[in-house]
Amino acid sequence: MKQMSAFSVISFVLVLLSGCSNIPKQITTAPSNDLQLNEIQGHIENFANQNVRWGGEVVSVENNNDASILQIVQYPLNHYGKPIINHSSDGRFLAKTTEFIDPVVYKKGTLLTFTGTLNGEDTRKVDQKELIMPVLEVSSMYKWQPYQPIQRDPFYDPFFYNGFYPYYGYHNRYWHHPRFGYPYYYW
């Protein structure tokens, strides 16, 4: 009986936690045609009003009275929809949205994934070169959190336990007993 109730509690918690994904469904699932940036370059007008899912790294943010335009360096997406920045880029695109995009929050280098429809092209100057970039009318957008590696203590000993601290046998050293026959293991 206890096993049955424990199993039901565990299964209930798993079902409850499975709905905690905060990534929008539109971002995690690719559209049926799944057009890539390199496929449409050169003949963008043939793909007008097509649904796409693209992502990349923010280069610049422009805010006008009626729209915000983000210039994005495109990167391929993984199966979650997150841009893979160590792969090569196919170029740049413009993401246009009616929402206000704060340039401080969405600063250069921020990773974003968009879904939306293709709506023409625009010419932008990058250094001294004029580039023709497709314009994506954004329907949903997701900002990825920056990767922060876990900092580990290089001198951590998983077998260290000083249960008597600060009383019995405390010598104010990290490891005060020889271990594995090595008397100078932590000196």
Distance CA 18, CA 61 (A): 35
How does pLDDT run across 103-142, given as a tens digit for each residue? 999 999 999 999 999 999 999 999 999 999 999 999 999 9
> Residue ranges of the domains in the chain?
22-143
Predicted confidence at residue 187, as pLDDT, reads 46
Predicted confidence at residue 136, as pLDDT, reads 94
Q: Report whether pLDDT(185) > 60.
A: no
> Could you tell me what percentage of the chain is helix, strand and coil, using 3-state DSSP and rounding each to the nearest 5?
15, 35, 50
Question: Which one, of 77, 76, 60, 72, lies nearest residue 133 by Cα?
Answer: 72
Task: Name which of 5-14, 76-85, 157-166 the model is least confident about.
Answer: 157-166
3-state secondary structure of 142: strand
Strands 51-63 and 68-75: antiparallel
CATH architecture of residue range(s) 22-143: Beta Barrel (2.40)
Contact indicator for 70, 106 with CB cutoff of 8 Å? yes
| H-run or E-run covering 124 | strand 111-126
Task: Quote the strand ranges of 35-110, DSSP E.
Answer: 51-63, 68-75, 91-97
How does pLDDT run across 20-51, given as a tens digit for each residue? 557 777 777 778 888 898 888 888 888 888 99
Predicted confidence at residue 155, as pLDDT, reads 62
Q: Which residue has the higher pLDDT, 3 or 69?
A: 69
Predicted confidence at residue 24, as pLDDT, reads 74
